[in-house]
Structure 1
Amino acid sequence: MSLNAPARAGTGHPVSKAGARRGATLAFAVQGLSVAAVYTTVPAVTEHLNLAPLLTTAVMVAVALTAGGGSFLGLAAIRRVGPVATMRGAMLTAAATLVLIGRASDEATVICAYILFGLAVGALDIGVNTRAAAIERAYGRSIFGSFYTAWSVGGVVAALLTAGVARLEWPVAAGLSAEAGIVLLLAVCMRTHALPSPAGPSDTLARPPLGRRLWIRLIPFGLVLLVVYVVDSTVSAWSAVYLRQTLAASLTVAPLAYAAYQAGTVVGRAATDRLVQRFGAVAVVNTAALLVAGALVGMAAAPSWPFAVLAAGAVGLGASVLAPLCLASAARLRPAASEMVLARLNLFNYVGVITGGAVSGLLGSTGRFRLAYAVPAALALLLLAAARHFTQPSARPVRRATLPSSGQAPPPVG
């Protein structure tokens, strides 16, 4: 075998940073589309099956809980088959559950479908973030924001499709089936590419135990993710219901707050990498935290649905940069075991989703949705204390790996 054989050539996959980046981008888009498809159809599914408000809240909390479990299932799958195969399997499962949710004819069926969706999206979450961390290491510069831009674009597409289906007065099953078809198409189009090895000694040769100190170092990032996903779940899971119940919006208009929120995240995430390179991660996080707090106050005080839609867009603009920068910084704590670090960090993610979803749902079921948006505004200010812990990637050139003297191929990166 040639001493200049490309890294992971034995896998049969071409070595290409750009190809790996395209594949991860498609997977992020699928995750955003899938989550949006579920959240924006909650009012329609609730009315179609005549679900009680408290049951709807319980189901959304169950989705978050099972997503946490799915994250660790995804971690086990990554260790066995790698992140790309894990992502593809989770994407196909998500497509199937979207169809099942839309065609469910009773409470038991739709609950099972939502739980299965939670498992799928949790596995997809750890898969995409692990892959993104490896790709960013290969590039040696901030690119996490570009992946989350694709996530947001997927969310906007799903929200607008949900609104269009409602406008045409088609059944909710039609919209969810169409969104499932898009997920299936993107899953089929995703290709597997290997990454080149980083120059210098490989950090993947040894994987020391993470230990208690890592948990301590994860606390600031965990705080950020917890608050971000309290905000995200409050807007994502309940903005359509908020517009429908509190601001008397139609089923056609109700998904627009989610669409505006995701449109804001598209703009914010598209600019994230450039902003970090120019102003630094700390300044970007501080500015984003202040914007989120102010926009949530505006959403809570909105006199009508157009104001709420605009405020939701501003929330998305600020919140969009926080999760990708948080995950990227945390992954740098232990590059050789980023999937394990991110799986642990995801615990804070799902605690935030559960807390935000449950509290917002309970307040909404008692007619206090405005309070559900005012409380996270205060929490957003806590992010200012954690901003100093954010870091930026250090440029490290990559090379085509050579075989070590043992004659065995180097270990895979990502």
Structure 2
Amino acid sequence: MRSPVAGPPADNTPHPPGSNRVPRLPGATGSRAHVRELLASALVGIEARRRVDPQHAGRVRVTSARGGGPLVVRDDGVGFTAQEVRWISATPDQLHHGPVREGMRRYETALMACFAVADVVELWTRSALLPGAPTMRWVGVADGTVRVTLADEPLDTPGTEIRLHPRAATRSWCTPETTLEHVLDSADQLPVAVEVDGVEVSGGTTVWERSREEQTEWFRQRLGIDPLVVLPLETSVGRVRAVAAVPAYRTMPGHRSAHRHYADGVLLAEGPSDLVPAWATFCHVVVDDGRDILTDPALDDAAVGERIGRALLARLILLGAERPDLFGEIVALHGPALLRHAADDRDLLDLVRSTVPLPTTLGDRTIDRLGEDLGVVPFTDDPCIWAALRDRATRDEVLVVNATDPHVAALLAGLDGFARLRSTDLVALGIAS
């Protein structure tokens, strides 16, 4: 039959327990998207079942495509009733993705991601909420055709099974080797057991719950980062967890931090993130975003990012008090990176002013220490002027700040008590005649 997919349920439709919980996810793209979205939907189904059965552990079984068979992802979550299956409106066209209940929407997103790999996708499901519930079969074709029937063979236990039949051109995305790689990359932090072709690959302690030594080793193995220190970040935002690794090497301008954004243990994105302040280029932050879009409506990504930034600064300040030697190493390595962004954040500026030294003709001094000097402190951003005055000013004990780094010059130019030195000022300072 032709596409009975359009109509989402009305707003007064009863929602099964747990159906309102779905992470805020960006659009899925790329060869890994189908695996990531299928795992995310499986987790939502399992968490929904835990709300009616708190003792339910949950398990996801992934079977790679072999021969001409499908890629299969099976969860033992809450499943769907016959009526709910008829409401599923997943098609390859995003415009047909209506405002249905959130738990179902997670599965719809997964089904749509599957159409990037397959022309035919099946969903088999059996509800855990109704004793003796039938197994329903939903079959979608990439042209928008959908068929919903009773399954010929019932699932032996409640849950949902999605069968993705890859096209010839995308079958390499579903092979045993590729599927294992994609699952490991997307689900290594999932709080439920995940099997790939019978081998368990997830379900242990997540990186946010591990000891500092175990976190350090995780950053080495998973991200190839050798941390100087790993800092836990308390965000005061429910169900948002974060940890930051400060590498034992200097980051250069334009460096792309390997931040990782997870949602309930599912990897969503790597690189710059709205959940991490833009100035945190000197470290790598791993965030698990477990917010509920219905219960945390005021906590947008920018607000969470601001709190993570404050937590990071608080950790650095505490480290400076407890382990000044280690904090000194961080400043020596990453002071330039902090200076590059100090003008963008008032709290960061406060830290930089008191801890990051600037080169002067009288030795390295922090901005706060320079502010203790009487009068206006001169600085130069001209390398020629600095070369001309450096030795004479040092000998005559005349204080001038070396601001030939453009970020230092821009910072000082915006602060009271500092003035850019011009070539005509050299005579007034007694440095040139």
TM-score (norm 2): 0.21
Structure with more of its chain in helix, by fraction: 1
Q: Which has the higher contact order (CA 8 A, sep 6+)?
A: 1
Higher strand content, 1 or 2: 2
Computing the radius of gyration over CA atoms, which structure comes out larger, 1 or 2?
Answer: 2
